[in-house]
Amino acid sequence: MKIFTLLFCCMFVFAFSTHAQLSQGGTPKSFTMPGLHSVVPSMNIEKPDLTEVLAQDKINDAMNKAYRVGTVQTVSINPDNSGVWDFLPDGSAIWRVKIASEDALAQCLYFSDYMLLPGMELFVYSTDKSFVLGAFTEVNNHESRVMATQDVPGKELIVELFMPDRNADFGFEINGIGYFYRGVFYSNNNPKSSGGCEVNVVCPEGNNWTVQRQSVAKIQEVMNGYIYYCTGSLVNNTGQNCTPYFLLADHCSVEGSDIVTATELNQWVFKFNYQSTTCNGTTATTQSLTGCTYKASDTYGQTQTGPDFFLCQLNNQVPSSYNPHYNGWSYLNSAPTSGVCIHHPGGDIKKISTYNGISTNYTTHWGVIWISTVTNHGVTEGGSSGSPLYDQNKRMIGTLTGGGSACSVDSVGAGTGPDEEDVYGKFAKQWLYNSATDKQLKCWLDPSGASTGTLDGRGVCTAGLDDVNYIRANIHVYPNPATDFLSVDFSDYNVENGTIIITDILGKTVTAPVSGSFTGTENVDVRALEPGMYYMMIQSQNTTVSLPFMVE
């Protein structure tokens, strides 16, 4: 056992580890608390002029560019300049503000400053309270201090922030409102966002692909003031360690002449399990993560040459509760005899399209033509870009660049239709596209050179620190309240190469960090602490979680 003596404070810089958009559940306090302001002041966001945007979308869609669905309206919204406060008798406070965008199909939030303290809770919900995101907490803090939310249906939403100490100093600034004008489907108010021939992934065509579909996610991208949809998937590596590598198409990372920035990547939202539970279903829930870092790509988005790939690493491990799958792959350049594509056409719920052999073997791409199946004739659409192409062995062999497939022939009568060809950048060409480490997949997916050409997929490794409910249930803190010593039992959840610090309720550090591997019981000396609430911050490789405790 180690004894952590907390007899002095130490000045040091603590960098918050990266976090994903993980919500802790619960109910906004205003839903059940009486006596609060009945009217929430509204921030009315100017409706964007979409005339040029829609005209350009028509051109871009025909050119198989990233599928644009929204604009980002610049704002400055924070608790000091907007909304309403309710101050509660116990010293806590609730801040709320309504955000209204005329005719928007949905809205989302972009934060230029997000750094919450332990105990603070953020909720975002529709005004009818039927759609609730949150609670977002300090678990969502990221060293870049930016954050984003997924879309909330409708033209109005409410932001609610609870803070246990009304005088606490924290970071909170909304600088962008995402305004969705297409590609959004909610059964209560919007039309279906994909073509009528598309096949839900839970239909009979997907019965043999229930594992692989767990790798695929819809991506809500932000670039240069606009919002785009693409599809991508988790990919396995020869270390079999569930590093959250995520593969999509390079053309999804470019807007005009602008390449996505590191800040924008930290605000990409990855929506897993966005799929119906029935073959004819039209509604679904989603589980989201926010943020990624760039690893490798070609330059297809700028030059239209190369196998069109973009590899990033999600900012957090995918929680076990998402039931993720990490795709297997083949770089052997062997033509497949059959397979499927799993994707999010038009930003819709997850679909599946089927083929029975390639139509053309291009140098950098596979050409495929989809076949009619028992349910319908699945194709691809805008928003499907970057989706994985699987071969008959259920291994990924490519990512979608584009093509002419569509549910119906266009008004010109040629070039689009269910029997037109789509093209997928070859995994075999992406593998070692260039000798530079940021221009190939091999360096990241097989750094030891152990592969002979193929790798099967795998499921989740273990629950990560970001799976907050799991970690809080398996690291045991006692006695709580404590008087002399606090014991922390790691026997049910080992933390390797971790760091432990103690903060007060305002986030002020009251001890120097202690680092090491924690597998047994650690005893913490709390005799020098004043009575009150404290937080134990446990930092591991990619994540940070806090556990509250009391000192009597």
| Domain 29-180 fold | Jelly Rolls (2.60.120)
pLDDT of 10 reads 28
**How many CB atoms lie under 10 A from the CB of residue 344?**
33
pLDDT of 541 reads 57
**In the chain, which residues fall in CATH 2.60.40.3080?**
3-11+466-551
Higher pLDDT, 124 or 20: 124
CA distances from 191 to 188, 199, 283 (A): 9, 17, 12
At 394, the pLDDT band (50, 70, 90 cuts) reads very high
Distance between CA atoms of 470 and 318, rounded to whole angstroms? 13
Q: Are 37 and 84 in contact (CB under 8 A)?
A: yes
* Residue found under tokens 């921030």: 43
Q: Which helix (DSSP H) or strand (DSSP E) does residue 523 occupy?
A: strand 521-525
**In the chain, which residues fall in CATH 2.40.10.10?**
204-459
- The percentage of residues in the chain with a pLDDT greater than 70, rounded to a whole number, is 90
3-11+466-551 maps to CATH 3.50.50.60: no
Backbone angles phi, psi at 116, to 5 degrees: -85, 150
pTM: 0.84
**Using CA atoms in the order 426, 427, 428, 434, what is the torsion angle rounded to 10 degrees?**
100
Average pLDDT, the chain: 89
Is residue 415 left, alpha or beta, with left meaning phi > 0 and alpha meaning psi from -120 to 50?
left
204-459 maps to CATH 2.40.10.10: yes
Higher pLDDT, 175 or 142: 175
Q: Are 221 and 136 in contact (CB under 8 A)?
A: no
Which has the closest alpha carbon to 370: 340, 409, 402? 340
pLDDT of 139 reads 84
Poorest-confidence range of 183-192, 210-219, 319-328, 400-409? 183-192
pLDDT in tens, 102-141: 999 999 999 999 999 989 999 999 999 999 999 999 888 8
Residue 21 has pLDDT above 60, yes or no: no
CA distances from 397 to 245, 328, 458 (A): 16, 9, 16
Which has the closest alpha carbon to 194: 383, 372, 373? 383
Residue 532 has pLDDT above 90, yes or no: no
**In the chain, which residues fall in CATH 2.60.120.290?**
29-180
Higher pLDDT, 506 or 532: 532
pLDDT in tens, 476-491: 888 888 888 888 888 7
pLDDT of 7 reads 31
Residue ranges of the alpha helices (H) in 14-162? 51-62
DSSP code for 332: S
Peptide bond preceding 479: is omega within 30 degrees of 0, i.e. cis? yes
pLDDT of 22 reads 60
Return the structure tokens found at 503.
Answer: 């903060």
Amino acid at 123: F
* Residue found under tokens 């806090």: 546
Higher pLDDT, 399 or 321: 399
pLDDT in tens, 234-288: 999 999 999 999 999 999 999 888 899 999 999 999 999 999 999 998 877 789 9
